[in-house]
Structure formats: structure tokens, C-alpha cells
Amino acid sequence: MNMQKTILSVSLTALFFISTNSYACLTDEIESNDDEISANTDVCSNTTIAGSLSRNDIDWFEFQVSQAGTIDISLDHHRRDDYDWSLYQENGSAVAQAETSNYPETGSYQATEPGTYYLKLSRYKGSGWYDLDISFPDDSTAPPSGDCGYGSRPSKPGSLEAYVAGSNNDNCSPLTQNNGAVLLMGGGSDVDSAFSNRVAPHIGTNSDIVVIRTSGTDGYNDYLLGLTNANSVETLIIDNRSKANDPYVDWAIRSAEFVWVAGGDQSDYLNQWQGTSVQSALQHVFDKGGVIGGTSAGMALMADSIYDPDGVSGAVSSEVVTDFCHETLQFSSQFVSIPMLNNSLTDTHFQERDRMGRATVSLGHHSTDFFSIAASEATSIFISSDGSGVVDGSGEVYILRETVQTQRQALTCGQSVIYNDILRTKLTSGDSYNVITHSHNGSEINISINGNNSNFYNPTSPY
């Protein structure tokens, strides 16, 4: 059964979290599983398995089909990667394969008899996380009461600040796979209706919520518990990479239906969380159909290209328009893969801090298919998996993007920015915007930037 391609790597999450409950369904790939003899077992139907692929690694999984029926397989991964899978019975060559460049890599096989099946994952190019979902006729014993497939709660390390409001037990709330949503909030006062009218209906009552931050308090706990009728709200202060890789943190995030990234410093978040269990667990919540999001720095973390002022001062509109390559403009790559936010930038505290110039110049640093979602304080946009977004709050959300009319007249390092006819769409509470089709019911104008002028906006007030 050897494949011809070069293959895969150690699962980050498996290194940091292996359930001690022998009855739990497998939720994290466990190395070494490089051949069918050492394949991971305890695979349950419709239970997401998180893993990671890198060079010279193959991941094998074994599962039992209880009767004839359909086996559906979905292998989700970053869009830059190309992973494949092959399905085998106990003997013989592959009975089904998926070897395209699609993400997720999906396919089905009609099993004509019960028995043991093996799934082999390999990489054609790229490396990193994946989420594997297998649906098949399964008569295995359901997890015990209080175990939603994630095992029992690990012990909390003494150094970790963790505060729980509500129940300490995980509640098994049903979600729809690949129906994840994101809540983007612009900072300042939180928007009550975004949590009660958008998040709560998506995750259902008695769900579990986790708030993550690198500093601060548990102020969100009682607030979100009341607004969403949740089973629990837990705040985790994850201020170093050791805590970000702790089994307790991984379990708490992964088992939640909604994860909220509080305001703070997105550069600090990236420094402490990127490449850790926090990152893969957050991806898992979105992929299983939950809601993720954040306010201010938390909103910044959701973008495809993240504004990242690590080690420099925050970018100011009046400064960046005078030099296209101003030292305060820095960007980092995607932290969470959110398909409807592909090619997105974000900005926050928008009108209050006059960040239209900053957002526009940032847009000019990216390809023409990028767009920017910018939210003023006390304002949010909730975006579903089909791209449809709805605005709540007392301020505005702005969408900036290029059209055929846009002119990149002067986007050159060391020179003032001259950037003409960017389409600006303004949205207020109740307005809708689809970030995939760009259909909306907001108000549009074209704006231009000329950094040679003291008032560099045209029109004078672009808001």
C-alpha cells in the first residue's frame, strides 16, 4: 500500500494533548502512525480528528464499518497545501482515492460489507494542520455521559489563570460541520446584540464559551453567560507559549462552541500563540461549525493578512500616506483559516482614530483582489459560512476594495501615496454585506488618497 508521494508530519496537538479516557473517540492524530500496522484507532463516525502533516510522514487511521453503507471522507487543510487520501480494506489496493488540489479534499465510497477499513493521508506539497472527518456506519459505544468526544478535562497547571462561570462539565452541543461563523468587533464597548442575536442562535443554548487573552480579567464570564444562556464561560490568560501548548488549554478551547479573543495586542497574541495548540484548537472550533471572533486585537487576528506592529509604533494615517513603505506598516500571514475571509484585511477603532488612511494604504500593499473590513467602536459584523454578514451596534463598518476604476498612481517606497477611486461601502446596524459576492445594502462612494496634500482625503470627509 505504499504511496509514491513524499509525506507528512507530527501533529502539534497530539504532542500536547492525548485523552486519558479509553472510551473517548479519537480527536487528535497520535504519532507514530506511519503504516497500517500502527494506524490510529478509536476513530468514530462524524468526529473531527485534528492532525498535522510534514515531510517524510504518513498518517494512517483504522476504523470499523458495522454494515454496508456510505463512507464519506473530508480532509480539510490550509489552501496553500495539497494533501491527498486513499481508502483501503484489509487487503488489496485502494478502493477510493482523492488526489486533487481541492480543499477540503472530499470523496465517498459505497461499502458493500462490514469490516475493517484503513485511511492513509499523504502530502503532495505544503505542510501543517489538517482536520479529518469520516462518516461511516458505526455501532461503536457512544462516549460516556459528560464526555463529548474530547475525554475528561485535564488537570490545570498551577501557573495558568483560568476562571470558569457556570458548569465545569462539557456540554455536548450539536453543530453543523463546515458551517463555522466569525464575529468581528471594532473595540470599545461590546455589542450585546451581536452575542445574543447572532452567536447564541448559531451555537444553541447550554453551549460552552471560552475567552482567550494574554492579560486582563474574567470580566467577560458573567456578561456572556447571561447574554447567551451558555452552559459555561471560561476565561484563559495564555501569556506564554508553554501555557499555549498545555493540555488543559487545548481541551478547553477545542471542546468549546464559541471562542472569543479579547482586545489587547495582536502582536503579542501572534508571538505567544502562533504554531501552538491554541492555533490548532481555534481552527478546530471553526471547522466543526462553531463561532470564533474577537474585538480590537482579537478582530485583527481573524484577517487573512494581519496588521502586525510587532516592535514598532502603531501606524497612523497622517504618517503612512507620506511614505508608502512607512516603517510602521507590517503584516503577518493568516492565523486561522476562515474561507470567507480569504484575501481580507481588518482594522478597528476606525472612525474614532481616523484610520481610513491607514486601511487604504494597507490595501495598496496587497493584490487587487484583497478587501478590508474596518469596524468603528461599539460595532460588529457577524459573518456566516456563505459570506453573508450583518452589522450590529451604534457605529459603522466600512468595506474598502478596488474596482476597475481604481488607479494605483503612486504606490512606491519613499514617496507619498497617490491612490485613486477605492470603493468605500458604509454599513450601519441592520445592514448586510456578503464578503464573497460583495452584494450589500450599504452606501457607496469612491475615495482617493494624495499624501502630498495636508488634507489627503478626497472627498474631504471619507467617512
Q: Is the pLDDT of residue 244 over 50?
A: yes
For position 139, what pLDDT does the model report?
Answer: 67
Q: What is the pLDDT of residues 126-167, one digit of tens each?
A: 888 999 999 998 865 445 445 678 888 999 999 999 999 999
For position 462, what pLDDT does the model report?
Answer: 98
For position 140, what pLDDT does the model report?
Answer: 56
For position 16, what pLDDT does the model report?
Answer: 37
> Average of pLDDT values for 191-217?
97
CB atoms under 10 Å from CB of 262, counted, come to 22
Q: Is the pLDDT of residue 6 over 60?
A: no
The owner of cell 496553500 is 80
For position 369, what pLDDT does the model report?
Answer: 97
Burial of 97 (0-12, 13-18, 19+ CB in 10 A): middle
For position 152, what pLDDT does the model report?
Answer: 87
CATH of domain 12-135: 2.60.120.380
Q: Name which of 22-31, 336-345, 368-377 the model is least confident about.
A: 22-31
> Average of pLDDT values for 176-200?
97
> Average of pLDDT values for 100-116?
90
> What does the angle CA 68 – CA 70 – CA 75 come to, to the nearest 5 degrees?
140
Are 425 and 433 within 8 A, CB to CB? yes
Residue with the larger pLDDT of the pair 451 and 135: 451
> Average of pLDDT values for 376-391?
98
> Average of pLDDT values for 267-289?
96
Q: Is the pLDDT of residue 282 over 80?
A: yes
Q: Which of these, 340, 331, 330, lies nearest to 381 by C-alpha position?
A: 340
> Average of pLDDT values for 63-88?
91
Q: Is the pLDDT of residue 22 over 70?
A: no
For position 20, what pLDDT does the model report?
Answer: 34
Q: What is the pLDDT of residues 425-448, one digit of tens each?
A: 999 999 999 999 999 999 999 999
CB atoms under 10 Å from CB of 295, counted, come to 28
Q: Which of these, 425, 417, 422, 420, lies nearest to 381 by C-alpha position?
A: 425
Q: For the chain, give the mean pLDDT.
A: 91
For position 24, what pLDDT does the model report?
Answer: 63
Domain ranges of the chain: 12-135, 161-458
For position 103, what pLDDT does the model report?
Answer: 82
Grid cell of 280 as nine digits = 490548532
Q: What is the pLDDT of residues 312-342, one digit of tens each?
A: 999 999 999 999 999 999 999 999 999 999 9
Q: Could you tell me the CA-to-CA distances from 167 to 207, 374, 391, 441, 447 in Å, in that order? A: 10, 36, 31, 41, 50
For position 79, what pLDDT does the model report?
Answer: 84
Q: State which CATH number among 3.40.50.880, 3.40.1350.10, 3.40.50.720, 2.120.10.80 fits the domain covering 161-458.
A: 3.40.50.880
Any idea what DSSP says for residue 38? G
Same-fold call for 12-135 versus 161-458: no
Confidence class for position 32, pLDDT limits 50, 70, 90: confident
Q: Is the pLDDT of residue 15 over 50?
A: no
Listing from the earlier edge strand, what are the strands of the sheet with 105-111?
49-53, 128-135, 69-77, 105-111
Are 149 and 25 within 8 A, CB to CB? yes
Residue type, 227: L
d(CA 412, CA 422) in angstroms, rounded, equals 17
Burial of 137 (0-12, 13-18, 19+ CB in 10 A): middle
Q: Is the pLDDT of residue 55 over 90?
A: no
> Average of pLDDT values for 207-233?
97
Confidence class for position 13, pLDDT limits 50, 70, 90: very low
Burial of 461 (0-12, 13-18, 19+ CB in 10 A): exposed
